[in-house]
Amino acid sequence: MSTVWMNQLSWIDYEARLLRDQPPIFLPVGALEQHGPHLPLGTDGLLAAAVAADTAKRVSGLVAPTLSYGYKSQPKCGGGQHFCGTTSVDAATLIGSVRDAVREFARHGAKRLVIVNGHYENQWFLIEGIDLGLRDLGPAAQLQVMRLEYWDFLTETTLASVFPNGFPGFALEHAAVIETSMMLHYHPDLVRVDLIPDDGPADFPPYDVYPTRRHWVPLSGVLSSAKGASAAKGAVMATELAQRMAAAVAHEFA
Ligand code: ZN
Ligand code: MN
Q: Before 211, cis peptide (omega within 30)?
A: yes
- Rounded to a whole number of angstroms, the CA Rg of the chain reads 18
- pLDDT, one tens digit per residue, over 204-213 is 999 999 999 9
Would you say the C-alpha torsion 162, 163, 168, 174 has a positive or negative sign? negative
Spatial separation of the C-alpha atoms in residues 130 and 59, rounded to whole Å: 22
pLDDT reported for residue 102: 98
Which pLDDT score is estimated for 130? 98
Mean pLDDT of 222-227: 93
Using the mean position of ligand 1's atoms as its centre, give its distance from the Cα of residue 178 in Å: 9
CA of 208 to the centre of ligand 2 (A): 18
Residue 1: predicted pLDDT: 53
Do residues 153 and 249 touch, judged by C-beta distance below 8 A? no
Q: Report CA(19)–ligand 1 centroid distance (Å).
A: 36
| Overall average pLDDT of the 214-237 stretch | 95
Ligand nearest to the backbone CA of 33:
2
Measured in degrees and rounded to the nearest 5, phi and psi for residue 26 equal -95, 130
Ligand nearest, relative to CA of residue 47: 1
In 3D, which of 204, 193, 189 has the Cα closest to residue 226?
A: 193
Task: Give the residue numbers marked as catalytic.
Answer: 33, 35, 44, 119, 121, 174, 179
CA of 216 to the centre of ligand 1 (A): 18
Phi and psi angles of residue 102, each rounded to the nearest 5 degrees, phi first: -60, -45
pLDDT digits (tens, 9 = 90+) for 131-177: 999 999 999 999 999 999 999 999 999 999 999 999 989 989 999 99
Q: Which ligand is nearest the CA of 39, by number?
A: 1
The DSSP secondary structure of 72-94, one letter per residue, reads PP-HHHH--TTSTT-B-B-HHHH
Q: How many whole angstroms from 31 Cα to the centroid of ligand 2?
A: 6
Ligand 1 centroid to residue 170 C-alpha, Å: 10
Residue 17 Cα to ligand 1 midpoint, Å, equals 32
DSSP line for 75-142: HHHH--TTSTT-B-B-HHHHHHHHHHHHHHHHHHT--EEEEEE--GGGHHHHHHHHHHHHHHH-TT--
How far CA 92 is from CA of 58, 97, 100, in Å, comes to 34, 9, 12
- 85-125, pLDDT tens digit by residue? 999 999 999 999 999 999 999 999 999 999 999 999 999 99
Residues in the chain: 254
Q: Which ligand is nearest to the CA of 122?
A: 2
Q: Is 28 exposed, middle or buried (0-12, 13-18, 19+ CB in 10 A)?
A: buried
The confidence band for 254, taking pLDDT boundaries of 50, 70 and 90, is confident
pLDDT above 70 for 250: yes
* pLDDT tens-digit map of 23-78: 999 999 999 999 999 999 999 999 999 999 999 999 999 999 999 999 999 999 99
C-alpha–C-alpha distance, residues 111 and 247, integer Å:
18
Query: Which band of pLDDT confidence, cut at 50, 70 and 90, is reported for residue 199?
Result: confident
Q: pLDDT-derived band of residue 200, with 50, 70 and 90 as boundaries?
A: confident
* Mutual angle of helices 43-58 and 177-186, in 10-degree steps: 60
